[in-house]
């Protein structure tokens, strides 16, 4: 890991986890982060549910809930990405704090509560997306849904 990458990670870890998460998405969306690019070894190519994937490693839903960095993420080397969760209507999610680091376990606890811009806004962003790999969208219910 290069010096500036290590320094950036140290700086992000000094921030509260939700702020660090937001900054990492913003940096990706602005093209400020070097991405490794496509992983295209024929040995890694696979099929899943009828889809051809360049490799079997994907990004799970939760990182980019609003599809604001979806373009760069499709170029990051994942075989597929899943965005969201999107709810029918925008909602703020749970009160803060709602993301917690477990440093000893190298893990986080996520209690965001489906904070997102709503399905219509996310659909507009996805419509403009140049899909280089399969893109999925996790769907959820609004908190006030019956």
- Residue 34 has a pLDDT of 84
- For the chain, what is the radius of gyration of the CA atoms? 16
Residue 92 to residues 17, 25, 54, 118, 122: CA-CA distances in angstroms? Answer: 17, 18, 35, 10, 15
Mean pLDDT taken over the chain: 93
State yes or no: pLDDT of 3 exceeds 80. Answer: no
Distance (Å, whole) CA 145 – CA 28? 33
Distance (Å, whole) CA 95 – CA 98? 7
pTM: 0.89
pLDDT digits (tens, 9 = 90+) for 60-118: 999 999 999 999 999 999 999 999 999 999 999 999 999 999 999 999 999 999 999 99
> Domain 3-139: which CATH class?
alpha beta
In the chain, where the domains are located: 3-139
- Residue 9 has a pLDDT of 80
- Residue 4 has a pLDDT of 67
Mean pLDDT computed over 13-34:
93
- Residue 146 has a pLDDT of 67
């Amino acid at each position: 890991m290069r010096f500036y990458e290590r320094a950036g990670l140290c700086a992000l870890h000094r921030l509260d986890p939700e702020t660090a998460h937001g900054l990492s998405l913003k940096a990706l969306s602005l093209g400020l982060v070097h991405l490794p690019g496509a992983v295209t070894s024929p040995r890694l190519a696979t099929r899943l549910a009828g889809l051809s994937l360049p490799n079997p490693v994907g990004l799970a839903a939760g990182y980019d809930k609003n599809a604001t960095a979806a373009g760069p993420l499709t170029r990051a080397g994942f075989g597929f990405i899943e965005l969201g969760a999107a709810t029918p209507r925008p909602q703020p999610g749970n009160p803060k704090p709602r993301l917690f680091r477990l440093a000893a376990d190298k893990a986080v606890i996520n209690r965001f509560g489906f904070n997102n811009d709503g399905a219509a806004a996310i659909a507009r962003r996805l419509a403009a997306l140049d899909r280089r790999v399969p893109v999925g969208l996790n769907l959820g219910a609004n908190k006030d849904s019956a």
